[in-house]
Structure 1
Amino acid sequence: MDVTFKKKKDVFEGEVALKSSDLEESHEKFSGKIEDCVMDDKIITIAPECVRCNLCVEECPVDAIEDSKSTKPARILDNCVKCEICAQTCPVNCIHVIESTAHVNDDEVKYHLKDIKVPHRKLQMQEINVNPEKCVSCATCVKFCPTGAITVPEGEIAQIDKEACIGCGACVNVCPEGSIELIRELGPVIKTKELLVDQDTCVQCQVCEENCPVDAIKLEGDKVVLDQEKCILCEVCSRKCPVGALKLEMM
């Protein structure tokens, strides 16, 4: 996806005023002018094609994804730190990382949205079996299997084609009786970025340490020390650093 669309600036200002008035305790009309600017952001979203495997939920390092159910897909929560691990993990590419840019000028607001390609971790089924004592032949697993590897012949338990199974675990997650057992191999997260630390620019304010969601960065003396094993390359410290001493760059 690579999309650009525009909106008249006065329309945008009217929408902002309307939303602001809803938040104000007083009934005074909000009036504010939006100055020309450029704003960049990154959005992570889960498409309706989610197969309910919950791999993204299991792998999210900050618990920022709400569990999927057979009745609804997984959902990104507000505490997402945009580390992209979920997108690398999704077995069916339904988690999208989107770069968004908004240009505000004299007459209009122009938005640009672009899908970012994210590499995928290794995922492989090692063993999968159906417990005949528990399976009730409801075929819920069939509905969500992304490769069509499961069938439920009339009067029989679920049958799994192990050659077609990719080990995503959707069937395990949605089975109401817990009748499917899966062993799979999930490869390591692929590092596509690196966090650069400018020790000379750092002012030892400890903002990075206080805000790191996984305790991967510490201030020891007058030096910033980064634990590479813990760091999830999530942009939190680099965005919050007041002097630009931390920069997250593509490798």
Structure 2
Amino acid sequence: MIRLYLGPLSLFSRKVEIALLEKGQAFERILVPFSQARGYEPRHPAVLAANPKRQVPVLVDGDLTLFDSTVIFEYLEEAYPRPALYPVGVHARAHCRLLELTADEILFAPVRNLLYRTEPPHPDAARQAERDRAGLEAESALRDQLAELDKRLAGGDFFCGDLSVADIALFMTVLFAQRLGGPALEKFPRLAAWYARLLQRPAFGAVAADIAAADRELSAALHR
């Protein structure tokens, strides 16, 4: 059986989890412990052995071990091609890959500057003010990017015709932007409708609920 090492609040792990669920593949979830104070330290030994970047996700399928969500996506599509999560055609697939990269490296860049919002206020007031300024700049950048994504959805339910890895990657980054207090989706009606549609799918809804539960657990731990 496939094994997936993932973190409760690892965006890139959850991408892979959604892909496995959408493909109907049985797999064992191995949840790597996470705390607000220490993050993922100490690192899980299987993750350290498999990934020189010391990060989840790590996927093990028989004697094959992979890391990096994009590499895992491409492997799953070739090993388990039905249902397909990439569109047909060289150009369409290239467009899909660019949208995944957009989610992971362009849209996520400002989201990263909102991660501090799940942490206690910084004891240094000047440092906290710097964080807040960066957060406001991140929100402005996100509004521009969300507006662009909203335009791309004109005339379609998904970004590449049918559900694809582009939708999975973009959904996860938009979800993180929402949970971190980023711009509300109400000003982007096509994007908001797309997001709501995906939440209705069992795979996406289950992952979103699991992340919300992890957030509640971390919040409770901070106030103990």
| TM-score computed with the length of structure 1 as normaliser | 0.23
Larger fraction in strand: 1
Larger fraction in helix: 2
If asked which structure has higher relative contact order (CA below 8 Å, sep 6+), I would say 2
